[in-house]
């Protein structure tokens, strides 16, 4: 039930009972359906172990629980999802960077959901027609969501944990990065090459390469001197482009390094049990870790970021390695003097034999071993016995580290630029992180398998309340190929967050490196940039109701059994169907079309969906995109930047359904500030008449005109009347559809357009 909703107004009912064999139990009912039922299973509550088991239907349709690279529909008969944040390069079906216990279930065409609010490590196991929680401590604080639609479940969940943050419009453009750029001059050349290739580029990102000896808040004086970085930022801004740089939480343990010495003086770093600073190993060598629970940490972190931004006022921030990641087990730098600095470049020593496991310390080795695939849960992260300033040990709050960093970092950005929407990207996330940050799916691989799984991962984060999400296009680890990269940008052009990124020592994979990839990029990104008004409108639904931008077919068509496990296609909103090629060497794709009318984006040709696959041609430079009949899609012209695109006139794409009707909407504001005026415009088409109505936000003025209307599925229009007055627009027919150009219709007033 939602905030302020009493039991009488809720669609859910709670009951408890005593089972003769299992003891106390409870049920959650939605009408006559029992959506959570512990009957026959004991509830176990111990100091370091909680077990709760609920019955499921046979072969249940379960979605969510992660973060883990996996197929979108979880295997209900043999899945164990571990929630323990870990720096791992996206191994299939293992735990990685974030922890999200929320799940959704589809039963007989209706969705419901459940969420366990607990920061401890846990396994959530699906087997034997049950879902079982095995948790390393805390409380069993459950929330249930009645649905009955998928979007309603996500609405109810994000009402609880926090609605997604408001993104700046520019973040919907295309981004480029790599780990391993050798100099600011190389980055400048990359930016210029995108322009020469006529491929849109919105944001130039730089990984840790820009830092002096990989230390936060510094600039390499030879390869990335501050003066040249400032020139780069000015040049990007002069072209309406942006800059984002990476910042890690680990701080070099170095008395002569001011961010460390100031933090040490303010007592803001995580401690060992004996009160000394916990010292791990990350990129700068021996490092300490900010304690986000410290009463002084905001003061310290904001100062360091403020001085950094004063030098280089970049447009967004990227926080990485915040699971937190450490390259050793335990406080491996403890006892070393703070002026002992490893020679640069510093590399991790060959790993010694693993330390003896201290089984007598139950916070290092809990009685129950979650399925974290390392020797100890402290491996590659902060020791679980390390102490925060509030006395809590890391064991209890490990999964919150990235969330807590996100919170204070976003607070800084809001204070540094009041009333300007920050863009913040984080690798580690927790329930509610979507209100603070956006996400990419981490260190994937340049493989066809990872291309496929990227769809499921993006869809997962729609459930988790983090709709601004994407995977590294063309793959991060390993060398991509021309074919794989072409197919990946075709799909990646439709990720909500669209960024090319790869690892150091891999071959360059900027989109202009191959002629075929460049052409595929121009085509796919031209579709994305035309769709920006639609993307932005869908994202406003995310802000207001938590709804994801990228959605699986099962969310829109839950009654169609064939789509319950479809993660080879995705919808943008409810209306744009993307059907990528995910198989090496393929030049066709079998795309599933639910019942109804669908229209090819490029040709306007109609496909009649029959709840079956249709084999579509898919040459290497092409991705199939279709519009759902019944939708009205607002478009603008594609361009090299979002600023240029937003200046162009609007097009309405009216895709009629079998009844000759369609509807849609447009949300628009300044795309930058929080207090922007806005406007919602409603579009309805029926009986050969389009109604344009101002739904809300009348103070915002849309300067661009509606200059083109395309009516799909309606041929032979001869006359167009705007508010009863015949227009001189140019009318043509294309594959059974009508295209009207050279219109001059204001979107600031209610308007009636009739087609005869």
The residues annotated with a catalytic role in the active site are: 320, 323, 443
* Burial category of 389 from C-beta neighbours within 10 Å (exposed 0-12, middle 13-18, buried 19 and up): middle
Residues 6 or more apart in contact with residue 237 via CB below 8 angstroms: none
**CA atoms within 13 Å, Cβ hemisphere of 137:** 18
Cα separations in angstroms, 674 against 451, 653, 681 = 35, 29, 20
Beta strands in 223-332 (DSSP E): 242-247, 251-252, 280-282, 285-288, 316-319
Which stretches does DSSP call E strand in 359-493? 424-426, 438-440, 469-470, 472-473
Rounded to 5°, the CA angle 491-495-500 comes to 75
According to DSSP, residue 393 is labeled: B
Rounded to whole angstroms, what are the CA distances from 529 to 194, 535, 634? 16, 9, 12
Q: Half-sphere exposure of residue 116, counting CA atoms within 13 Å on the CB side?
A: 29
In DSSP notation, 496-527 reads SSEEE---TTSPP--TTSSHHHHHHHHHHHHH
Instruction: Show the tokens assigned to 330.
Output: 């335990």
What is the token pair recorded at 392?
């809590």
Give the Cα-Cα-Cα angle 543, 549, 552 (nearest 5 degrees): 140
The helix (H) or strand (E) run that includes residue 237 is helix 226-238
Rounded distance, CA 564 to CA 592, Å? 12
Q: How far is CA 569 from CA 449, 456, 559, in A?
A: 14, 9, 17
Strand partners, 179: none
Residues 254, 339: Cα–Cα separation, whole Å = 5
Q: Which residues are CB-neighbours of 186 under 8 A, at least 6 positions away?
A: none
Bridge partner list, 103: 64, 114
Largest CA distance in the chain: 86
Separation in Å, CA 656 to CA 609, 680, 707, 736 = 14, 22, 20, 12
The residues, any chain, with a CB within 8 Å of residue 508's CB and separated by 6 or more, are 178
Q: 709: which 2 tokens? A: 């209307």
The structure tokens listed for 546 are 């938590």
Instruction: Return all residues near 754 (Cβ < 8 A) that are at least 6 apart.
Output: 688, 689, 690, 720, 721, 724
Chain-centroid distance of CA 636 in Å reads 24
Instruction: Give the residue among 365, 333, 348, 341 at the shortest CA–CA distance from 257.
Output: 341
Contact 484, 584 (CB under 8 A): yes
Instruction: Give CA–CA dist 69/63, Å, rounded.
Output: 13
Contact 469, 461 (CB under 8 A): yes
Characterize 161-189 residue by residue with b for buried, 16 or more Cβ atoms within 10 angstroms of its Cβ, and e for exposed. bbbbbbbbbbbbbbbbbbbebebbebbbe
Q: What is the 3-state secondary structure (H, E, C) of 77-103?
A: CCEEEEECCCCCCCCCCCCCCCEEEEE
């Amino acid at each position: 039930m939602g905030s302020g909703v009493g039991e009488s107004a809720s669609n859910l009912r709670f009951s408890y009972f005593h089972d003769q064999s299992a003891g106390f139990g409870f049920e959650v009912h939605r009408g006559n359906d029992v959506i959570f039922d512990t009957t026959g299973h004991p509830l176990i509550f111990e100091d370091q172990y909680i077990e709760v088991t609920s019955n499921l239907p046979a072969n249940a349709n379960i979605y969510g629980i992660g973060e883990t690279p996996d197929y979108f529909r979880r295997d209900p008969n043999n899945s164990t999802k571990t929630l323990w944040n870990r720096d791992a390069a996206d191994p299939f079906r293992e735990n990685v960077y974030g922890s999200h216990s929320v799940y959704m279930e589809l039963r007989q065409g209706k969705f419901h959901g459940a969420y366990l609010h607990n920061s401890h490590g846990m396994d959530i196991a699906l087997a034997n027609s049950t879902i079982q929680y095995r948790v390393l401590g805390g409380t069993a604080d459950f929330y249930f969501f009645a649905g009955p639609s998928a979007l309603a479940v996500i609405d109810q969940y994000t009402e609880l944990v926090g609605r997604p943050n408001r993104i700046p419009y520019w973040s919907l453009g295309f981004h480029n990065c790599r780990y391993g750029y050798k100099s600011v001059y190389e980055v400048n050349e990359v930016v210029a090459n995108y322009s020469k290739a006529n491929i849109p580029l919105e944001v130039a990102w730089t990984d840790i390469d820009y830092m002096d000896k990989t230390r936060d808040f510094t600039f390499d004086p030879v390869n990335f001197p501050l003066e040249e970085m400032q020139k780069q930022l000015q040049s990007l801004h002069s072209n309406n482009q942006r800059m984002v740089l990476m910042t890690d939480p680990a701080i070099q343990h170095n008395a002569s390094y001011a961010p460390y010495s100031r933090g040490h003086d303010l007592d803001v770093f995580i401690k060992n049990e004996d009160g000394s600073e916990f010292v791990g190993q990350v990129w700068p060598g021996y490092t300490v870790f900010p304690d986000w629970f410290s009463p002084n940490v905001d003061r310290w972190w904001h100062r360091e970021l403020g001085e950094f931004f004063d030098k280089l006022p970049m447009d967004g921030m990227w926080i990485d390695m915040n699971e937190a990641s450490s390259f050793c087990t335990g406080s491996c730098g403890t006892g070393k003097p703070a002026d002992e600095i490893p020679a640069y470049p510093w590399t991790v020593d060959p790993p010694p034999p693993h330390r003896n496991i201290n089984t007598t310390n139950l916070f290092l080795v809990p009685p129950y071993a979650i399925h974290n695939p390392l020797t100890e849960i402290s491996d590659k992260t902060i020791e679980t016995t390390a102490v925060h300033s509030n006395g809590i040990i890391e064991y209890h709050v490990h999964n919150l580290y990235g969330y807590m960093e996100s919170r204070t970092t976003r607070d800084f950005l809001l204070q540094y630029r009041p009333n300007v929407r920050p863009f913040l990207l984080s690798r580690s996330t927790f329930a509610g992180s979507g209100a603070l940050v956006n996400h990419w799916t981490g260190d994937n691989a340049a493989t066809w398998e990872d291309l496929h799984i990227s769809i499921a991962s993006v869809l997962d984060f729609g459930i988790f309340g983090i709709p601004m999400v994407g995977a590294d296009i063309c793959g991060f680890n390993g060398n991509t190929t021309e074919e794989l990269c072409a197919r990946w940008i075709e799909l990646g052009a439709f990720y909500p967050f669209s960024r090319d990124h790869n690892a150091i020592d891999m071959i360059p994979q900027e989109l202009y490196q191959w002629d075929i990839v460049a052409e595929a990029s121009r085509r796919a990104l031209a579709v994305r940039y035309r769709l920006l008004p639609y993307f932005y409108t869908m994202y406003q639904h995310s802000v207001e109701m938590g709804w994801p931008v990228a959605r699986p077919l099962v969310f829109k068509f839950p009654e169609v059994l064939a789509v319950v496990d479809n993660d080879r296609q995705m919808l943008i909103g409810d209306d744009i169907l993307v059907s990528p090629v995910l198989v090496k060497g393929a030049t066709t794709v079998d795309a599933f079309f639910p019942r109804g009318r669908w229209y090819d984006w490029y040709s306007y040709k109609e496909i009649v969906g029959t709840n079956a696959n249709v084999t579509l041609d898919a040459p290497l430079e092409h991705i199939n995109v279709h519009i759902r009949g019944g939708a009205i899609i607002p478009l603008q012209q594609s361009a090299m930047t979002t600023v240029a695109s937003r200046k162009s006139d609007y097009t309405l794409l009216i895709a009629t359904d079998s009844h000759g009707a369609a509807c849609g909407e447009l949300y628009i504001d300044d795309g930058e500030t929080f207090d922007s005026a806005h406007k919602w415009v409603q579009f309805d088409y029926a009986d050969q008449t389009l109604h344009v109505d101002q739904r809300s936000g009348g103070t915002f003025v849309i300067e661009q005109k509606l200059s083109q209307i395309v009516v799909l599925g309606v041929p032979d229009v001869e006359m167009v009347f705007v508010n009863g007055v015949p227009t001189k627009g140019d009318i043509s027919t294309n594959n059974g559809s009508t295209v009207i150009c050279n219109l001059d219709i204001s979107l600031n007033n209610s308007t009636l357009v009739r087609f005869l």
